[in-house]
Structure 1
Amino acid sequence: MDIGIGLPGHAPWTQGRALVDWARRAEERGFSTLSVSDRLVWTTPEPLITLAAAAGATSRIRLLTSVLLAPLRANHALFAKAVTTLDQLAGPGRLQLGLAPGLRDDDFTEGGVDYATRGRQFDRLLDRLAGVSRGEDPVGPRAATDGGIPLLFGGHSEAALRRIATRGTGWIAGDATVEGVREFTPGLAKAWADAGRPGAPRVVATVMFALGPDARRAVSAAIEPYYAFAGEEYASYGASAALTTPEQITTAVAGFAEIGVDELIFAGNDPDPAQVDLLADTIGL
């Protein structure tokens, strides 16, 4: 099982260069992937711009949006051009897109995008991205990655399963638990087989973490305000579910590996780049 690390974009970071330092350290310590999250109505950095900076600061580590709220990108041609440009800058095989339709209506209100039709807009965006990636569209450049940029879709809905089976390379599970992944994957495998896809879909799970003496404070400061929209109970649960001890980290690695997850990504909650080294030391990188 590959082990990746996620930038603390939803945490109270103040220096953008620290995120670039995270990227460099993540590659130096041997993490498989660097991920970045997405929100409009928050201080989360724009994911494609952030990964472009990471691409310039690194040469090997994979780059992932986890997850990008695709329907907010209402100009589909411009979005496709940004994605294929990033793929060219990063080099073949490095960029992966984790995509989802989005849940919070305030992101769509502030973005001037119709929340009710986001699913249809999502599919149209994917059509345009596919054409640009293959060089079959007047917009360019085409993707550097042969076969197009790998697409992972988030969510548990029938629409998510359809997109994975017909357009994607796999599923990305946010705030994942071993039990939740185990419950979802049989249906995922069936949808994949029913679509006539060979092999098996890639399964990527993401979990929240912070390490060190201030770990519990860091996750509270990052997660509780971020999930406050869902109510105090959910926000408190999100903070309590974050992994904050070496024992919890190693247990998670063992548990997700046992059920066949292809990659586990630990999303940071403390902006200090030293978190990269603490996690690498804990898992033996």
Structure 2
Amino acid sequence: MDLGIGLPVLRPDPELSLADWARHAESRGFTTLGTTDRLVYDQYEPLTALAVAAGATSRIRLTTSILLAPLRANHALFAKSAATLDRLSGGRLVLGLAPGAREDDYRAGGLPFRRRGRLFDALLETATAQWRETDGIGPRPATPGGPPLLLGGFTEAALRRMVTHGSGWVAGAQGVENFRAHAPGVRQAWQAAGRAGAPRLVGTVHCALGPGAERRLRTSLERYYTSGTFTRKSIEAGLSSPEAVAHEVAAYAEAGCDELILFPHGGGPEQIDLLAEAVGW
């Protein structure tokens, strides 16, 4: 199983260099740099943050896990931005996409929350067609046909989007049991659609290590999600000790996860080393 790490994009510390973080993560053997996405929150915009990371690295993948795709209302411009990042990074971009469940993000973006599914479908159709064109809106992505798409969610619509446009599925950070519960349905949908091979399954985990880890993790998640069942489940599934990280990584690998992205909350670059050491690197 590949192991990725999140960029420090939430409530960003201006003294913390994304470029230095990205270089260090690559040097420690992480396979992916991940980003999360909210509009109504103090965080870096995902594609912009990944562009900074791309310029500082040469091998590590650049993954939105996830990007709230329907908020990108100009679909042709979104496709152009993604193709540009894929081209400039040498084909390292992976787009994890989902509609999101927070109405405030859509209200702030001037978009109808209840039409986000239709907006998402329209974006996918436009972007994938644009990436396949040989003459039209450029640049051409480095990856033939466009960056790999990982679709989030486990509704019927989410699985339809995955088998139509995606190369795999990305799970929310609610723990390995949640991953185990939904992964078989993802594989079954893939096979039922007649897709060759198997979908790439990616998991995500919230974590924090070092002094005050549990407090930092809880505070960060409560701020980010604000309230509700999702917040509680995310906090319960969060990891705040090396032993918990090692156990969860092994459990995800046993469950058939292809890549697990660890998202540190709080702290500085030492989180990269602490997580690497927790998994025995």
Same fold (TM over 0.5): yes
Partner residue in 2 for 1:130? 128
Local SS of the residue matching 1:208: strand
Q: Which residue, 101, 105, 108 being the options, matches 2:106?
A: 108
Partner residue in 2 for 1:69? 68
Partner residue in 2 for 1:51? 50
Whether 1:276 aligns to 2:239 is no
State the alpha-carbon separation in 1 of the partners of residues 174 and 221 from structure 2: 15
Q: Which residue, 235, 242, 256 being the options, matches 1:239?
A: 235
Q: Which residue, 158, 169, 175 being the options, matches 2:156?
A: 158
Local SS of the residue matching 2:112: coil
Which one is further off, 245-254 or 181-190? 181-190
Q: Percent identity, aligned pairs only?
A: 54
Q: Residue 135 of structure 1 contacts residue 141 of structure 1 at CA under 8 Å; is this kept in 2? A: no
Q: Residue 174 of structure 2 contacts residue 233 of structure 2 at CA under 8 Å; is this kept in 1? A: no
Please, what is the CA RMSD of the aligned residues?
Answer: 1.5
Deviation at 1:18, TM superposition (A): 2.5
Residues 237, 121 of structure 1: alpha-carbon distance in 2 compared, 3 angstrom cutoff: closer
State the alpha-carbon separation in 2 of the partners of residues 20 and 43 from structure 1: 19
State the alpha-carbon separation in 1 of the partners of residues 233 and 188 from structure 2: 31
Partner residue in 1 for 2:39? 40
Higher relative contact order (CA 8 A, sep 6+): 1
Partner residue in 2 for 1:79? 78
Alignment gaps of 5+ in structure 2: none
1:248-280 Cα shifts (integer Å, max 9, x gaps): 011011111111110111011014111111111
Local SS of the residue matching 1:64: strand
Partner residue in 1 for 2:258? 262
1:104-163 Cα shifts (integer Å, max 9, x gaps): 011001001111111111111111111221235621111111232100011111011001
Residues 182, 79 of structure 1: alpha-carbon distance in 2 compared, 3 angstrom cutoff: same
Alignment gaps of 5+ in structure 1: none
Whether 1:9 aligns to 2:9 is yes
Deviation at 1:201, TM superposition (A): 0.5
1:78-112 Cα shifts (integer Å, max 9, x gaps): 111100000011102x1100000111011001001
State the alpha-carbon separation in 1 of the partners of residues 15 and 197 from structure 2: 40
Q: Residue 202 of structure 2 contacts residue 261 of structure 2 at CA under 8 Å; is this kept in 1? A: yes
State the alpha-carbon separation in 2 of the partners of residues 249 and 50 from structure 1: 25
State the alpha-carbon separation in 1 of the partners of residues 141 and 216 from structure 2: 38
**How does the TM-score come out when normalised to structure 2?**
0.95
The number of equivalent residue pairs is 281
State the alpha-carbon separation in 2 of the partners of residues 76 and 68 from structure 1: 14
State the alpha-carbon separation in 1 of the partners of residues 236 and 180 from structure 2: 21
Partner residue in 2 for 1:215? 213
Local SS of the residue matching 2:151: strand
Deviation at 1:186, TM superposition (A): 1.8
